[in-house]
Amino acid sequence: MQLLEIDRDTEDTYYRCLHDEIPADPRVIAMRKAWRAAFEPRGHRAKVLKDDAGVVVGLTNYIPVEHSPYEGRNLMAILCMWIHGYDHLVGNQQSKGYGRFMLSEIEADARASGCDGLVVWAKDYDAWNPVSFYEHAGFERVDQDGLDVLAWKPFSPAAQKPSFLRRNTLIASERPQDGRVQVTVFSNGWCGGGCQLCVMTRDAVAGLEAEVDFEEVLAWEKEELRSRGESVDMLYVDGAPFQPDGPPVTPEALRQALRDRHTR
């Protein structure tokens, strides 16, 4: 197996998060490519994992923590890791050692790059990207915000602990005074799911200008991230996260929820 930088043959499946079975949304792909173009010169790695037969079975992307949505110094930040877990296409490839191999390759790259450690964002449940996977690989929890967990693996005594950015701007008092529902969506640009959340929200609020005050924030740069205080892609409705740990919402369901809230 090999962990390789994306190329012409693999970038499509990378940008689609291995969802080759469904049509790609060109708006989402454009957002991801624009972010990649801006951050590849700053050390962003976009890679796919191929098995011994040359089939793509996983992906990852990571970047120096200074350009990530987390606070830290001289660490490599893993933005995502994913081994194909679907029944379609190549089938479920998890629990075959691919994730451990990928993590070891990322660690080797971070050490070779002179980093003091690794940091990764994970979830405090088993359904997706569980922090327990990283804990079994020697990582320790260093920060937590609800079910979002930041874990790290220091390489040297000089390593400084990372942290999430602190949410500090979205409060209920910022709601519009004209009776409209406030909708704010954040995207850090690197995540396909986050970009899809932006596009989905655009579609949901289209035509609801009289009922909804909509703001889309593409928070890419570190100072913008700090000023907004947001480490993960998030949809807010009237200052509160909207189904932050639930299944993906459809434009139709969000549209109806916003209309119902406006009526109330």
Provide the CATH number for the domain around residue 146: 3.40.630.30
Kindly report, residue by residue over 24-59, the tens digit of the pLDDT: 899 999 999 999 999 999 999 999 999 999 999 999
The size of the chain, in residues, is 264
Kindly report, residue by residue over 116-131, the tens digit of the pLDDT: 999 999 999 887 889 9
What residue numbers bound the domain in which 60 lies? 2-164
Residues 160 and 228 in one domain: no
Q: CATH number of the domain that 193 lies in?
A: 3.40.30.10
Residues 20 and 139 in one domain: yes
Q: Is 247 exposed, middle or buried (0-12, 13-18, 19+ CB in 10 A)?
A: exposed
Residues 185 and 202 in one domain: yes
Give the pLDDT confidence score for residue 172 in this predicted structure.
Answer: 42
Closest CA to 96 of 46, 49, 34: 49
Judge contact between 250 and 235, C-beta under 8 A.
Answer: no
Residue 173 pLDDT level (bands cut at 50, 70, 90): very low
Segment 242-257 mean pLDDT: 87
How many structural domains comprise the chain?
2
Domain C-terminal end among 136, 164, 192: 164
Domain C-terminal end among 104, 131, 164: 164
Residues 205 and 253 in one domain: yes
